[in-house]
Amino acid sequence: MKVIITRPKERANVFAELLKKEGFEPIIFPTLELIYNKDVKVNLNNYNWIAFTSPSGVIGLYNIIDENQREDVKNKKIAVIGEKTAKTFKKYFGKEPDVVPKEYTAESLLEEIKKVAKSDDKFLIPTTPSTRDVLKNNLNADLLFVYKSIEPENLKEKIEKLKEEIKNEEFILTFTSGLTAKNFFKYVDDEFANIIKDNYIVAIGPITAKVIEEFGFKPLIPKIYTIEGIIDVIKNLKG
């Protein structure tokens, strides 16, 4: 069975390899491109905490600071949205984060932070301009735009071509963020919509699922909001 991966290309390969091991045929079809911003500056001394809502935020911050600042990061309290972001942070900075919520959403991360942070703590959030405002609106925080998420060129035409390639196939669509879903479904015509409804959609979590539902589709959601969780759902569908 074909599984369509809509996440950015540089983050799709691991997902694709895991799918191949399970006997699926991955199709890497990015509906989002990540561009890292190397022109921003930050004074880490102004912050008690750094909160990351994606692996890209970790990589983006690492890219714009020097070796001394990277050591300074280790002296901050670190909060991350989930397991993948935690692994990325440890890989780049050599430290385990202080806060990882059990449920990988911004709302759960905020809840865990509030249990341990002081009222006057200052937060830095390395992120993208398209980020949700959950943390920014509820913490004493500054956003630092270390990357941006853009729509790939000619996406509408690519989606039309994809429709023709898979309309007689069984397939599973996967989405790992609300923006990957939005960029995809806004170009889905009625014919493709009907084709999709005869197949399956898997969203990485409830926030992404909500975006998909706004376009009239009902996705499946894994118990754990990771690509491994998505694969567990897909394996059950195959069974």
pLDDT digits (tens, 9 = 90+) for 10-47: 889 999 999 999 999 999 999 999 999 988 999 999 99
Pick the closest to residue 173 from 33, 1, 38, 4 (CA basis).
4
Same domain, 174 and 225: yes
Q: Tell me what the mean pLDDT of segment 110-126 comes to.
A: 96
- The domain boundary, picked from 96, 117, 149, lies at 149
Same domain, 18 and 80: no
Which tens digits make up the pLDDT trace of 128-163?
998 888 999 999 999 999 999 999 999 999 999 999
> Is the pLDDT score of 75 beyond 70?
yes
> Which CATH number fits the domain that encloses residue 206?
3.40.50.10090
Same domain, 141 and 54: yes
Q: In the structure, what pLDDT confidence band is assigned to residue 175 with cuts at 50, 70 and 90? A: very high
Q: Tell me what the mean pLDDT of segment 67-91 comes to.
A: 96
Mean pLDDT, all residues of the chain: 95
Same domain, 140 and 104: yes
Same domain, 48 and 116: yes
> Is the pLDDT score of 104 beyond 90?
no
Same domain, 127 and 67: yes
- In the chain, the number of structural domains is 2
Report pLDDT for 10: 86
Percent of the chain with pLDDT over 70: 99
Distance CA 180, CA 31 (A): 5
Q: What is the pTM of this model?
A: 0.81
What does the H/E/C string look like for 190-208? HHHHHHHHCCEEEECCHHH
Rounded alpha-carbon distances, angstroms, from residue 181 to 8, 68, 92, 217: 12, 39, 29, 11
Same domain, 16 and 85: no
Report pLDDT for 239: 56
Task: Report strand pairing: 147-150 vs 77-80.
Answer: unpaired
Distance CA 41, CA 186 (A): 35
- The domain boundary, picked from 118, 149, 180, lies at 149
Report pLDDT for 131: 86
> Is the pLDDT score of 116 beyond 90?
yes
Same domain, 135 and 72: yes
- The domain boundary, picked from 87, 119, 149, lies at 149
Report pLDDT for 167: 92
Report pLDDT for 93: 97
Cβ neighbours for 65, distance < 8 A, ≥ 6 positions apart: 42, 44, 73
Q: Residue 43: give the domain boundaries.
A: 35-149
Asked if 128 and 149 count as a contact pair (C-beta separation under 8 A), the reply is yes
Same domain, 121 and 193: no
Report pLDDT for 132: 84
Cα R_g (the chain), whole angstroms: 19
Tokens standing for residue 164: 């023709």
Distance CA 234, CA 56 (A): 25
151 residue type, one letter: E
